[in-house]
């Protein structure tokens, strides 16, 4: 480690910023997050700096003397003139100051990290100047991980520290805080119910223990496979889960986001296979939540599309357990994105229909003839093995054989494959290309195709 990270105490201290440039303004903006007194050294400060001086938030001086740098916490130099930068640097260092010459690491005593600010929680990321772009990308990842409301809860906990120290014996204090930072109060605060969070924490202090956790089930949409197509809420639920039930289409990368000590249960439902019958899954998730555990039922795509969520919601309701759906990106959305082809197109397709190739044994097939109308864009799930039937039903319903078709298998994963053809060739194309489930079959019946066919019919007559 060539540079050692430390947090500097800034309240009541001076920070000197030399230069009237945009770079100097950027450092001033950073320093304004602190309680430091700002001194801006510039004969002609740019407008933002001039405003800070004008409204009294910073003191402005036209030029620096050695006294300017005495007893200050930090000096930033960005005059836009290299010789001037070096002259000021020498003067500041002679006065004993810690200096940062903006964008000139070779002249710096200290570097500003990439910062994730959830005051009082602050994460600083440094790459010793080797890869600032990487530093920023790590910052983005940490930004995503930490709720914007985290700081508020930590500040609340900070205010209650003394009360906790008084009410909770030392031996149980650590467990108390662990429960506080994962428990009901924490979750209420992150969900925006700040008053409830404070009340829960105070109640816990009054009774001397963290409240019993209430069980909870989240039906979480895992998206089509790619981990970065998960929602932030899905990641949050994964990190809070005590136990996760997942099935075949959920990517292992997604499970990686869960807490390491969470239980993971594979309920590997194959399409049509019954190794884990639905009622067994319903019973299990309810039984786990009844123990006070936080259960995530991870489902591919969006739980509310061919996800059998209704059964699980009813089982939870019957047992009086809180349940929620965390929506996900459904396979059709991911497949459309891969093709760069929107699901609806103004003037061509004004109706988007989601349907399936496979139904529960004994159920009638969907009435596909109803979909075979001009202006309809269709996405068929679970339809690879039933492509012949889908094709036959649509043709019989009056859809032209020339309707464009796209097939996207394993959308958003490393195994993604596409094929484009027409309705007349749909089943043969799947056979020829060897396309396998999971895949989405898109069939479009654009209005312009209907018009063309009608015009051709008229000219033939």
Nearest distance from C-beta of residue 330 to ligand SAH, angstroms: 3
> Which of 114, 376, 410, 421 touches ligand SAH (CB under 6 A)?
410
Nearest distance from C-beta of residue 355 to ligand SAH, angstroms: 11
78 CB-near residues (< 8 Å, 6+ apart): 17, 18, 19, 21, 23, 24, 27, 85, 101, 102, 103
Report the site for ligand SAH in 236-275 (rule: CB under 6 A): 249, 271
**Interface characters, 293-312, with ligand SAH (x: CB under 6 A):** ------xxxx--xxx-----
> Which of 335, 372, 395, 427 touches ligand SAH (CB under 6 A)?
335
**Interface characters, 341-380, with ligand SAH (x: CB under 6 A):** ----------------------------------------
Whether 48 contacts 60, CB under 8 Å: no
- Residue placing its CB nearer to ligand SAH in the complex, 111 or 266: 266
- For 223-247, give one letter per residue: b (16+ CB within 10 A) or e: bbbbbebbbeebbbbbebbbbbbbb
Nearest distance from C-beta of residue 411 to ligand SAH, angstroms: 4
**Interface characters, 313-332, with ligand SAH (x: CB under 6 A):** -----------------xx-
Backbone angles phi, psi at 92, to 5 degrees: -65, -40
- Residue placing its CB nearer to ligand SAH in the complex, 236 or 302: 302
- Residue placing its CB nearer to ligand SAH in the complex, 101 or 249: 249
Taking CB under 6 A as the rule, does residue 220 contact ligand SAH? no
Six-digit token string for 135: 């530093």
Nearest distance from C-beta of residue 255 to ligand SAH, angstroms: 16
Nearest distance from C-beta of residue 238 to ligand SAH, angstroms: 17
Nearest distance from C-beta of residue 234 to ligand SAH, angstroms: 13
- Residue placing its CB nearer to ligand SAH in the complex, 271 or 337: 271
> Which of 382, 395, 407, 430 touches ligand SAH (CB under 6 A)?
382
- Residue placing its CB nearer to ligand SAH in the complex, 193 or 308: 308
Annotated active-site residue 103? The verdict is no
Please pick, among 85, 242, 247, 406, the residue that the annotation labels catalytic.
Answer: 247
- Residue placing its CB nearer to ligand SAH in the complex, 183 or 225: 225
Nearest distance from C-beta of residue 408 to ligand SAH, angstroms: 6
Whether 338 contacts 260, CB under 8 Å: no
Report the site for ligand SAH in 418-457 (rule: CB under 6 A): 437-440
Nearest distance from C-beta of residue 437 to ligand SAH, angstroms: 5
Size, binding site for ligand SAH by CB under 6 A: 26
Annotated active-site residue 202? The verdict is no
Residue least distant from ligand SAH (Cβ):
301
Report the site for ligand SAH in 169-208 (rule: CB under 6 A): none
Give strand pairing partners of 100. 76
Catalytic residues: 247, 269
Sites of contact with ligand SAH (CB under 6 A) = 224-225, 249, 271, 299-302, 305-307, 330-331, 335, 381-382, 408-413, 437-440
């Amino acid at each position: 480690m060539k540079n050692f990270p430390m947090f500097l105490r800034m309240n009541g201290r001076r920070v000197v910023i030399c230069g009237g440039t945009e770079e100097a303004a950027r450092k001033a903006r950073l320093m304004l997050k602190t309680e430091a007194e700002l001194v801006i050294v510039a004969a002609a400060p740019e407008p933002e700096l001039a405003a800070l001086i004008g409204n009294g938030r910073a003191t402005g001086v036209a030029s620096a003397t050695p006294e300017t740098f005495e007893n200050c916490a930090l000096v930033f130099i960005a005059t836009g003139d290299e010789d001037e930068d070096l002259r000021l640097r020498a003067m500041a260092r002679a006065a004993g100051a810690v200096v940062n010459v903006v964008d000139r690491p070779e002249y710096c005593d200290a570097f500003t990290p990439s910062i994730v600010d959830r005051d009082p929680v602050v994460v600083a990321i440094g790459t010793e100047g080797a890869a600032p772009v990487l530093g920023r990308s790590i910052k983005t990842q940490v930004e995503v991980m930490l709720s914007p409301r985290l700081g508020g809860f930590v500040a609340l906990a900070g205010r209650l520290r003394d009360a906790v120290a008084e009410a909770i014996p030392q031996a149980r204090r650590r467990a108390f805080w662990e429960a506080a930072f994962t428990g009901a109060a924490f979750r209420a605060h992150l969900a925006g119910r700040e008053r409830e969070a404070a009340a829960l924490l105070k109640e816990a202090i009054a009774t001397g223990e963290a409240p019993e956790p209430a069980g909870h089930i989240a039906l979480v949409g895992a998206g089509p496979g790619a981990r970065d197509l998960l929602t932030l809420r899905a990641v949050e639920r994964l990190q809070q889960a005590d136990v996760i039930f997942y099935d075949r289409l959920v990517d292992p990368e997604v499970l990686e986001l869960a807490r390491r000590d969470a239980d993971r249960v594979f309920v590997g439902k194959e399409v049509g296979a019954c190794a884990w019958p639905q009622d067994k899954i319903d019973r299990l998730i309810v039984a786990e939540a009844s123990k006070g555990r936080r259960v995530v039922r991870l489902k591919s795509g969006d739980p509310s599309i061919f996800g059998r969520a209704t059964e699980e919601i009813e089982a939870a309701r019957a047992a009086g357990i809180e349940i929620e759906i965390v929506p996900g990106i459904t396979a059709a959305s991911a497949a459309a994105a891969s093709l760069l082809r929107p699901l609806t197109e103004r003037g061509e397709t004004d109706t988007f229909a989601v349907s399936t190739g496979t139904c529960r044994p004994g159920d009638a097939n969907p009435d596909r003839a109803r979909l075979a109308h001009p202006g309809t864009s269709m996405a068929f799930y679970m339809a690879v093995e039933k492509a012949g039937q889908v094709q036959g039903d649509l043709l019989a319903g009056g859809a032209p054989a020339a309707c464009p078709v796209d097939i996207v298998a394993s959308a958003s994963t490393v195994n993604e494959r596409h094929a484009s053809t027409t309705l007349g060739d749909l089943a043969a194309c799947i056979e020829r290309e060897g396309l396998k489930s999971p895949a989405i079959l898109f069939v479009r019946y654009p209005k312009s195709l209907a018009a063309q066919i009608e015009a051709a019919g008229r000219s033939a007559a």
